[in-house]
Amino acid sequence: MTSLKIRWLKVFYFILAHPKLKSTYYSTIENAALFFRRYFS
């Protein structure tokens, strides 16, 4: 489970580093954040 979290964090920070990708995938990242908040909080 920890390795999966690390993988998602890498993807998250990669998108944060690219404003165009961030704006394009904002809703997807938001949904992922809600998912992790619900199941891994």
Query: 40 Cβ partners below 8 Å, 6+ apart?
Result: 1, 5
What would the two tokens of residue 28 be? Answer: 């997807």
Which tokens go with 13?
């920070």
| pLDDT of amino acid 23 | 65
Domain regions of the chain by residue span: 2-40
5 has a pLDDT exceeding 80: yes
Contact in structure between 11 and 21 (CB atoms under 8 Å): no
- For residues 10 and 14, which has the higher predicted lDDT (pLDDT)? 10
C-alpha to C-alpha distance for 41 and 28, rounded to whole angstroms = 19
Average pLDDT, the chain: 77
Q: What are phi and psi of 7, to 5 degrees?
A: -60, -45
pLDDT in tens, 14-32: 777 777 765 666 677 777 8
The predicted pLDDT at position 2 comes to 81
Determine the 3-state secondary structure of 18 from DSSP.
coil
The reported pLDDT for the residue numbered 25 is 64
